Amino acid sequence: MYGGVRGGENYVRVSYMKRFEHGGNVYGKNIRLDFSVNTNPLGMSGEIKNALVNGADKFAFYPDASCAELRRAIARSENTSAENVVCSNGASEMIFAAVRALDPRRALVTAPSFSEYERALESVGCEIVCYDLSEENGFALRGDFPDAVAACDTAFICTPNNPTGNVFDRDIVEEAVKKCALRGGTVIFDECFAPLSDAYTMKGKAPVIRAFTKTHALAGVRLGYLIADEELCGKVRAQLPMWNVSYPAQIAGAVAARDTESVRRASELIVTERAFLRENLSRLGFTAFDSQAPFLLIKGERGLDEALAERGILIRPCENFVNLDGRYYRVAVRTRRENEELIKEIGDICG
């Protein structure tokens, strides 16, 4: 069922900071392999690297506050208009800006899912409704989901969902969008993992957030964007600070927007390596859930993340996701060499 989540068990058992921890915290640690973040396993392309190096002389100048060239490049790649694109310092900044623009009073999030939706909604004092996803049901949506969404003025849907990796039933999702719109509400789709997955897109039917962070391994550069109607784009743009997208990010994004080949190659690799990881982790006794994303949710014994960290490998513990606990982990899909190393280390740990 679904209902308010504030003050629930999942929130009192962890601190505020622990509750919103994410992967990728390699700082101050001796890490050689990072499976805790789900970026393009092939890494940043040579073309993007060259563009950043060649543009370095201009880093002393302020970036274009309107991101005009970047928005045009994204618009061409997404088959839309530049007026329908807003750029941000990563997807997380866009989530907060969209929430401030919509100023919702009651919003729905699925659980488990990406915690930044809740953090952004809490920042505007919004009541949060948690729609529980169950392991027994494959973390899928049920038939009551459209009515649950329609009872709110805003909802966030992550596709593929993070950390479960599944793609929600399209008919249920589209019905939820229609019912919410009839009541004047908005459903926002986080499609940051979609280009590297088997997921459908809701672009053109609802506001969509994407990020070059995942598709082109630009996590440190920080670049996200929103595709929406001009009215919402204008409202969101008004919530963003001036020069929020750096000059390096704009250079990298303009190249990345036309670089479909590296995304295609990475997507093909992910399909093969995801199956490899799932088969071998299952063989080692883990429950490896079906995934259409560049990562797997697995279930096993507590403490695996700590044991791997001692060996210089990071995975993402999922105990701070609502409805999951310390037995669950999210593992990124990497290259065969990296995946084999992970399997070997886990095999040694499990004996």
- For residue 301, the Cα-to-chain-centroid distance in whole angstroms is 25
CATH code assigned to 10-42+261-350: 3.90.1150.10
With CA atoms as reference, report the closest residue to 109 among 145, 68, 72, 73: 145
- For residue 292, the Cα-to-chain-centroid distance in whole angstroms is 13
pLDDT at 351: 77
**Per-residue confidence in pLDDT tens, the chain, 351 aa:** 334 444 333 433 344 445 556 555 655 678 899 999 999 999 999 999 999 999 999 999 999 999 999 999 999 999 999 999 999 999 999 999 999 999 999 999 999 999 999 999 999 999 999 999 999 999 999 999 999 999 999 999 999 999 999 999 999 999 999 999 999 999 999 999 999 998 999 999 999 999 998 999 999 999 999 999 999 999 999 999 999 999 999 999 999 999 999 999 999 999 999 999 999 999 999 999 999 999 999 999 999 999 999 999 999 999 999 999 999 999 999 999 999 999 999 999 997
Question: In this structure, what token pair is assigned to residue 216?
Answer: 């082109």
Ramachandran quadrant class, 86 (left: phi over 0; alpha: psi -120 to 50; beta: rest): beta
pLDDT at 124: 97
pLDDT at 30: 82
pLDDT at 18: 56
Residues forming CATH 3.40.640.10 domain(s) in the chain: 46-259
Question: In this structure, what token pair is assigned to residue 321?
Answer: 């996701």
Task: Show Cβ contacts of residue 104 under 8 Å, excluding neighbours closer than 6 positions.
Answer: 121, 124, 126, 152, 153, 154
pLDDT at 10: 40
Beta bridge partners of 106: 127
Tell me how far CA of residue 306 lies from CA of 224, 317, 328, in angstroms. 31, 9, 13
Question: In this structure, what token pair is assigned to residue 235?
Answer: 């409202």
**Coil, strand or helix at 258:** coil
pLDDT at 21: 62
The pTM score is: 0.92
**Matching residue, tokens 């940051």:** 192
Task: Show Cβ contacts of residue 258 under 8 Å, excluding neighbours closer than 6 positions.
Answer: 73, 76, 77
Compute the distance between CA of residue 325 and CA of residue 320 in angstroms, rounded to an integer.
7
CATH class of 46-259: alpha beta
Residues forming CATH 3.90.1150.10 domain(s) in the chain: 10-42+261-350
With CA atoms as reference, report the closest residue to 338 among 304, 306, 314, 303: 314
With CA atoms as reference, report the closest residue to 298 among 290, 313, 288: 288
For the chain, how are helix, strand and coil distributed in percent, rounded to 5? 40, 15, 40
With CA atoms as reference, report the closest residue to 257 among 37, 50, 39, 45: 45
Task: Show Cβ contacts of residue 351 under 8 Å, excluding neighbours closer than 6 positions.
Answer: none
